[in-house]
Every structure is written in structure tokens, then in C-alpha cells.
Amino acid sequence: MKKTFLILAMIFGVVAAQARQLPTPTSLFDNSHVEFKYYGFYGIVEYTHMFNFANESPQYLNPSTGTVVTFVDKYHLNGITAIAGWQWRKESAIGLGFSYFSDPQNSFSQIPVFIEFRSHFLRSRITPFTSVQVGYSIPFGSKNSIEEYTRIDEGGITFGITAGARFAITPKLGINLYAGYQMIHLNSVERGFNMVASTKMSELYDNLRFGIGVNF
């Protein structure tokens, strides 16, 4: 919970730094033309929530009972995503970014590093956008402390696609809302019982992700 409040505080800090002269409440919702900058350098800071809805559930041997077990993971990751890039027109932008994700037990905490391709489709106050991210996810190497433990030994490729909307407050400050999909393929995941490893194998995770943040 403390990490979540810290992330939200960082986002609000960026908003305060960028919005030195916010429009009045009347002009904020006036649909007269407010054009967000559509070329040059841009930055994005977002709060991200992600959870898996399907994964390859590996089978492994429980050394205590001698039975084969199928492990099904259900996790929720919360974190921050930061992107810096260059936009040369409204529908063409490329950037570099990273995310910091953590879960309560720390067994799936990781840092995806990626290249992003982003498109905006309008120059009005509210515009839909899409983004595609391709990169590599770096694990923390930590594991949970429960009897049936999980640890990511080696990260792997990640791919994500999102769709959302940007609301322009000023020409240099906007609010992003989005939802999307993210795939993470981990090259080596260790699973075991009572600190004794049973298997090490690659695993594929499908995730839904949601986010809110600022574009400046």
C-alpha cells in the first residue's frame, strides 16, 4: 500500500510541475480547440496495475508426497511505468521505457525494459491512442516464503499492446487512461517445496493491464 501511495504521489508531482498555468474550470470543458503538442520530445509517467488471466501451468513433483502437481498462479502486479521518446507527427512516435512491477509476495516482481511505438489519431482535446511495446523483462530473483515457493531465475521477452485516450489540459500536459494486454515469457522459473527446488522451466504468462498517468 505504501508503494502505491508513493507512485501516485510521484504522478501528482509531475502534474503540479507541468501545470503552472492551468485553464479555468470553464475553459477546461470548453470544447474550443486545445491542441496538445504533436512533435518533439515527450515524457509519460503512469501508474500501472496488471494481473494474469492465463499461463502455462507446469507439472512438477512434490518431494514430500511423491505426487505430480500442476501449479496455477494468480498474481496482481502494481507499479510505475516511465517512457521518454520523440514524436514527429500525431500518429508517429517512438520511445524507450521501463516498468517497475511488484506483487505482495515478491515472487513475480520484475522490471520490463522496452521500445514503444505510439500513435495518436486526433489533434483535439480528447484523442484516442494506441501503443505497442516490445522488450525484455528483468526479474528481481526473489522468492516467496510460503511452503510451495516460486522464483524467477531468468527473465525473457515481453510484448504489450494498449488502447486508451488522452485528455489535454494544456498544450504540454495531458492525462492518459488505457487498458491492454501484456505477454511475458520467462526463460527460467524455479518452483519447489520447503526451499528445495523441484523444477526449473520456461513459462508463458498472459496479462491484462490498466493504467492512468500524465503525458508531458
CA angle 102, 104, 109 (to 5 degrees): 25
**Residue-level pLDDT at 153:** 87
Mean pLDDT of the chain: 81
Model confidence pTM above 0.85: no
21 domain residue, yes or no = no
107 domain residue, yes or no = yes
pLDDT grade for 41, boundaries at 50, 70 and 90: very high
**Residue-level pLDDT at 98:** 97
Total domains in the chain come to 1
pLDDT grade for 111, boundaries at 50, 70 and 90: very high
Q: Read off the pLDDT of each residue in 14-39 and give the average, rounded to a whole number.
A: 57
Characterise 158 by phi-psi region: left (phi > 0), alpha (psi -120 to 50), beta (else): beta
pLDDT grade for 63, boundaries at 50, 70 and 90: low
123 domain residue, yes or no = yes
pLDDT in tens, 64-84: 666 666 666 778 999 999 999
Res. 126: pLDDT tops 50: yes
Q: What is the CATH number of the domain that holds 116?
A: 2.40.160.20
Collapsed DSSP state (helix, strand, coil) of residue 17:
helix
Q: Which domain range does residue 64 map to?
A: 2-16+34-215
Q: What b/e string do you get for 12-47 counting C-beta neighbours within 10 Å, with b at 16 or more? A: eebbeebeeeeeeeeeeeeeeebebbbeeebebbbb
22 domain residue, yes or no = no
Q: Read off the pLDDT of each residue in 3-16 and give the average, rounded to a whole number.
A: 53
71 domain residue, yes or no = yes
138: which residues sit within 8 A by CB, 6+ positions away?
110, 111, 112, 113, 155
25 domain residue, yes or no = no
23 domain residue, yes or no = no
CA atoms within 13 A on the CB side of 156: 17
211 domain residue, yes or no = yes
